[in-house]
Copies of this chain bind each other. A is one copy, B any other.
């Protein structure tokens, strides 16, 4: 299954919303947004931190974003006669729309850029932030989706990656899902987000540097060799099929971390073949079920698609999904305290081989 039609509308404040319909169905676009929303907030700023050579986004308007609303006021459910949500139609399969409280936006003028001090240049936070709803079922979860719906989601993320990569100034497109209040999720409805960053994020910069040095030294591709080594070692592999392998990285930072990678090197989701897209869902759903079975309750997690950058260094990118949880025991979370938050030095309490063994046995 995938989407067979794609219908874009504008919400009352001008934001774009796109229905991705699994069945040929053309009436969703007819529902108008009946709300009178305020104009979009001022954009965020990017400020350069000279001490660590990184850009930090400052998005003050996000402070007022919707915070754990009651379920009859969920902005991600379809609209009903009594409540107008973000989605005007009475039903949807997969829907994507611009975030009302974006960290980055492409609706601002570059000439608003000002400089803070000579050492701290400021740029406008050009880019785009979208929300993706995986299902209209408020009480569902990604792990409970049918494999056919996962295929649709992959196709939608590929569509969004292609479109958002084309925005002038976008450096990388990052689809991700935060799941669970322990992770800071402010809306329970199953959803993910897509960030189009105006700068290459710090972790990606690190990955590019590491992959570039490895290529210079060996002439080979780093992620290809890491994946081959893990498949050969086997001890940290959780599950695999013809096109994908899920494994616990040997140097995991998080108590439970799994990377899901395609066997063929592709830069991003749009480059996946139909067969590869079909094969992803069953494997990933299997891993998610193991996560939830670990402690017998929904596992809080972050699921992150690492894709190639849009510009320089694109050839170094190897698409992979990074899934990790901060839960280290049934009643304990891993906190990022002094060593991790102030020094970036991670201390993991769970031995990766043990994590893999536990996940495999479930």
Interface of A toward B, CB cutoff 8 Å: 44, 47-60, 62-63, 67, 103, 116-120, 174, 176-178, 183-185, 193, 195, 197, 201-204, 206-207, 209-211, 213-214, 222-223, 225-226, 229, 233, 249-253, 302-304, 306, 322, 324, 328-329, 332-339, 341-352, 354
CB-defined A-B contacts under 8 Å, sample of 25:
A47-B250, A49-B250, A50-B226, A51-B210, A53-B209, A55-B251, A56-B346, A56-B347, A56-B348, A58-B350, A58-B351, A59-B347, A59-B349, A60-B349, A60-B350, A63-B349, A67-B332, A176-B339, A178-B338, A184-B333, A193-B338, A203-B345, A206-B344, A302-B341, A306-B342
> A206 and B349 in contact (CB under 8 A), knowing A233-B117, A329-B63?
no
Partner of A346, one of B57, B62, B352: B57
Q: Is B204 a contact partner of A343 (Cβ separation < 8 A)? A: yes
Question: Do the beta carbons of B253 and A348 come within 8 Å of each other?
Answer: no
Contacts A54-B344, A339-B195 given; does A354 touch B60 at CB 8 Å: yes
Q: Which of B51, B62, B342 contacts A347 (CB 8 A)?
A: B62
CB-based contact A54/B206 at 8 Å: yes
| CB neighbours of A229 from chain B (8 A) | 117-120
Q: How many copies does the complex hold?
A: 2
Expressed in whole angstroms, the minimum distance between the Cβ of A211 and any Cβ of chain B is 8
Tell which of B211, B304, B337 touches A183, judged by Cβ atoms closer than 8 Å: B337
C-alpha spacing A201/B118, complex, angstroms: 28
Pick the contact of A345 from B52, B183, B201, B302 — CB < 8 Å? B201
For residue A249, which residues in chain B have a CB less than 8 angstroms away from its CB? Answer: 49, 51
* Top-6 shortest CB links A-B: A184-B335, A202-B344, A304-B342, A176-B338, A49-B251, A201-B343
Contacts of A225 in B (CB 8 A): 119
Q: Which of B60, B197, B302 contacts A351 (CB 8 A)?
A: B60
**Which of A56, A183, A343, A348 has the largest number of chain B CB atoms within 10 A?**
A343
A209 to B322, CA, bound (A): 27
List the B side residues contacting A183 at CB < 8 Å: 335, 337
In the complex formed, the residue of B with least CB distance to A57 is B347
Q: List the B residue with the shortest CB-CB distance to A61.
A: B349
Q: A184-B337, A250-B47 are known contacts. Are A62 and B349 too (CB-CB below 8 A)? A: yes
Query: Chain B contacts of A349 at CB under 8 A?
Result: 59-60, 62-63
A251 touches which of B56, B185, B335 (Cβ 8 Å)? B56
| Cβ–Cβ < 8 Å partners of A351 in chain B | 58, 60
Does B338 lie within 8 Å of A56, measured CB to CB? no
- State A336–B59 Cα separation when bound (angstroms): 15
CA distance A348 to B211 in the complex (A): 29
